[in-house]
Amino acid sequence: MVLRFLREKVVEVEPLADGELAVTWKLADDLLEAEIQMKVLPPDLEITEAQARIIRAPHAACASVPDLIEKVEGVRIGPGLRKIVKGLIDGPDGCSTLTAGVLECCNAVILHFTRPGIQAGDGLVLTEEEQIARGRENLKRNPRLVRSCIAFADDSPIMQGLGL
Amino acid sequence: MRVDLHIHTSPRSLCSHIDPPDLIQEVKRLGLDGFCLTEHQVIWDPHEVDELARDEGIKIFRGNEITTNQGDILVFGYEEDLQGVVPIKVLHNKVREANGFMIAAHPFRGFKTFGIGQLKMNVDQACKRKVFQYIDSIEVRNGKLNEQENDMASQVAERLGLPGTAGSDAHNLDEVGKWITVFERDVQNEQELMEELRAGRFTIGSAR
């Protein structure tokens, strides 16, 4: 027997004239169809509006999605986001599909801000010394990077001599 | 009296690598007079703290870092075991009823990849955060934040007329004491700690 399962998923971030960001998330597969609309207000990245609906689902789970998603209104897209969103709308009384959708919306907002910086660095050809200097500059701007990955481990070239 | 108000230890905070007895020795080596155990969503038993402190000559206070829908809050003087993400209003009402004290922890902490700098946040905008309606103080120096993020917290505290505390938020021994709160008076217990915090009788310092 050959199983066939198709899934389409799209998430978009669109800057609005009033400065807010409109985020749209849509999921459609052979079993499920769902969508989320959110508005996010920079610079605090507060979720000011959030709506969701399950258009088609194989079971009654997540029937409370329209009420559930209201809990994320007022939440800021910032550190600890995953824990906060899961705590608010996941678990036995929550909906894991909605949780995943909301987090994907938030990731899209984060990428909206980080992608230009990443793209700007893509074309640069740096010597090893320049790479180390850039790494140290990053550490200075963001102490949370210390020990966060192998590049910033205690014995890495970037960390050596810094005395952090 | 020099106190690090924000420290996580293992195993109560799963993300911490600090063994409590080692912490005592490090705090003594740094010349601090005390510290506060602020684990994630769990508060130490007072008897265990007494046992830990023994005759070490160090004051150990208990707090709790509670996750709310508006970010992390350091809570003092509140014993109830709260699980999950707590709405800030609910936490505010409970702590107020217990006559406790709430500090907005690292309020402007950014992601590893970007933060308030890239978002071009100004002080007016920062002051409008909902969380500031519900807390008694703002952590204006946190060891995990960069200068810009801590400066923003300082400016917001000043603008809103709230006292600004400091703590290392240490998860490793070598982070302890990076930022500390220096109290004008000797603080003997948690009740006095809250009294001094409420009165704003402290300044900010560092042991490193």
Distance CA B57, CA B35 (A): 12
What percent of chain A shows pLDDT beyond 70? 98
Distance CA B20, CA B45 (A): 14
Contacts of A110 in chain B (CB under 8 A): 111, 113-114
Contacts of B104 in chain A (CB under 8 A): none
Contact B111/A79, CB-based, under 8 Å?
yes
A100 touches chain B (CB under 8 A): no
- Reported as a single tens digit per residue, the pLDDT across B157-168 is 999 999 999 999
Asked whether residue A89 carries a pLDDT value surpassing 80, the answer given is yes
- Reported as a single tens digit per residue, the pLDDT across A94-117 is 898 999 999 999 999 999 998 887
Of A27, A97, A105, A26, the closest CA to residue A62 belongs to A97
Q: Nearest CA to CA, how far is A123 from chain B (Å)?
A: 19
Q: Which of residues A116 and A37 earns the better pLDDT score?
A: A37
CA angle (B169, B174, B178) in 5-degree steps: 50
A160 touches chain B (CB under 8 A): no
Contact B67/A71, CB-based, under 8 Å?
no
Distance CA A131, CA B186 (A): 48
Q: Nearest CA to CA, how far is B144 from chain A (Å)?
A: 6
| pLDDT tens-digit profile, chain B (208 residues) | 999 999 999 999 999 999 999 999 999 999 999 999 999 999 999 999 999 998 889 999 999 999 999 999 999 999 998 888 999 999 999 999 999 999 999 999 988 777 787 788 999 999 999 999 999 999 999 999 999 999 999 999 999 999 999 999 999 999 999 999 999 999 999 999 999 999 999 999 999 9
pLDDT for the residue numbered A92 = 85
B23 touches chain A (CB under 8 A): no
**How far does Cα A7 stand from its chain's mean position?**
20
B107 touches chain A (CB under 8 A): no
B110 touches chain A (CB under 8 A): yes
Contact A117/B114, CB-based, under 8 Å?
yes
Of B4, B44, B46, the closest CA to residue B24 belongs to B4
Contact A43/B172, CB-based, under 8 Å?
no
A144 touches chain B (CB under 8 A): yes
pLDDT for the residue numbered A13 = 97
Contact B35, B4 (CB under 8 A): yes
- Reported as a single tens digit per residue, the pLDDT across A15-34 is 999 999 999 999 999 989 99
Q: Return contacts of B47-53, CB within 8 angstroms, 24+ apart.
A: B52/B20, B52/B21, B52/B24, B53/B24
The SS3 assignment for B192 reads helix
